[in-house]
Amino acid sequence: MKTLIEDIVETYTPHIVIFGGTSGIGLALALHHQTLGWQISVVGSSTAKIENVKRQHPAIVTYVCDLTDPSQTQTLLDNLSGIPFQRLIYSAGSYTNERIHHLNQADSDQMLAINLQAFEQVFRWASSQLKHKHQSLDFAKDCRPSLICIASIAGTIDYPYASLYAKSKRAMIATASAYRAALIPYDIQVNCIASGYIDTQALRDSNDGDASHKPFIMSTQAAVHHIMQAIDADVELAIFPRSIRYITSALNHLPKPVLNWILRSKLDKAR
């Protein structure tokens, strides 16, 4: 005869919330979790993308939110506070190619807001939710509370001429590491993903429809595989593909003046 705990574990359906989950790697992760039997909620800013998700994946719950607006973001978080979840992924991001374009005020504000400020707002809220609501579910291995953020390989290289995008992703990596240390006593898992180029529609759009020339570019399916492996293995900072992990590691071991010269001459726009 089954115990009450066994019955609960057997019938319980875990819930994941994905910010930036209406397209690209965020949507790919949502669909992967759906195949695993999770309940899915996604947050996006584009009404068109929201409608597309509703039409193609009606079982996914959608929320529209402009993450550049802190008050709108907080209203969404307040509404989500009554909904239990076991995993949150922050996959929202904003990118402007600063090697080609000088940042205007709107691009600067948007990148800072989405890549750093909204991320910090969401992680602060999510960690509080998980600390207070989900400790009773630690008997179910698949339901271990977890926070995951999608950063970038650009944030793993430390040099003074880095772009705003790279600096914000580096701050995201450091913030996730701090949350990981702080949430150890609560048995809440925190993972940060720093990948190379992923062949998403957004990347193709920013490269005249074709991103195949990008070095070490990978499919969304391959990226999802790497990300899920990192989550399952509880890797603090997952850097992939392997080839680019080796390159960034080698660059970070160079003397700072050499690293600065290489990256300023190869990566930055003329100043």
Residues 204-256 pLDDT 10s: 666 666 656 665 677 889 899 999 999 999 999 999 877 676 567 666 666 76
Question: What is the Cα–Cα distance from 101 to 154, expressed in whole angstroms?
Answer: 17
| Cβ proximity of 99 and 269 under 8 Å | yes
The pLDDT of residue 217 is 77
Strand partners, 40: 16
pLDDT of 24 above 80: yes
Q: Give helix 256-266 / helix 242-252 axis angle, nearest 10°.
A: 130
> Residue 262 — pLDDT band, cuts 50, 70, 90?
low
The pLDDT of residue 181 is 98
Which residue, chain included where needed, has tokens 């003074």? 160
Question: What is the Cα–Cα distance from 5 to 139, expressed in whole angstroms?
Answer: 8
Which residue, chain included where needed, has tokens 């100043």? 271
Of 29-33, 173-177, 195-199, the least confident:
195-199
pLDDT of 114 above 70: yes
**Eight-class DSSP state of 42:** E
Q: Give helix 24-35 / helix 220-232 axis angle, nearest 10°.
A: 60
> Residue 86 — pLDDT band, cuts 50, 70, 90?
very high
- Amino acid at the residue 118: A
The pLDDT of residue 144 is 87
State in Å, rounded, how far the first CA of the chain is from the last one. Answer: 73
The pLDDT of residue 101 is 63
Average pLDDT, the chain: 84
Of 7 and 180, which is predicted with more confidence?
Answer: 180
Q: Pick from 196, 182, 188: which is nearest to 234 by CA?
A: 188
Specify the 3-state DSSP secondary structure of 193: strand
Of 134 and 116, which is predicted with more confidence?
Answer: 116
pLDDT of 200 above 50: yes
Distances (CA, A) of 118 to 70, 93, 110, 153, 184: 7, 10, 10, 20, 23
State phi, psi for 63 to the nearest 5 degrees: -135, 135
Strand partners, 44: 64
pLDDT of 76 above 70: yes
Q: Pick from 106, 76, 112, 121: which is nearest to 94 by CA?
A: 112
Strands 39-44 and 15-19: parallel
Which residue, chain included where needed, has tokens 């950063």? 151
| Cβ proximity of 119 and 190 under 8 Å | no
Q: In the numeric block, which tokens belong to residue 3?
A: 């115990």
Of 18-22, 89-93, 264-268, the least confident:
264-268
Question: What is the Cα–Cα distance from 112 to 125, expressed in whole angstroms?
Answer: 19
Q: Hey, where are the domains in the chain?
A: 13-266
Question: What is the Cα–Cα distance from 263 to 154, expressed in whole angstroms?
Answer: 11
pLDDT in tens, 138-181: 444 557 899 999 999 888 887 777 789 889 999 999 999 999 99
> Residue 45 — pLDDT band, cuts 50, 70, 90?
very high
State phi, psi for 155 to the nearest 5 degrees: -85, -5
Question: What is the Cα–Cα distance from 40 to 60, expressed in whole angstroms?
Answer: 5
CATH 3.55.40.20 is right for the domain spanning 13-266: no
> Residue 25 — pLDDT band, cuts 50, 70, 90?
very high
The pLDDT of residue 6 is 46
The pLDDT of residue 5 is 44
Q: What is the mean pLDDT of residues 111-127?
A: 97
Strand partners, 146: 87, 189
Of 196 and 127, which is predicted with more confidence?
Answer: 127
Instruction: State percent of the chain over pLDDT 70.
Output: 73
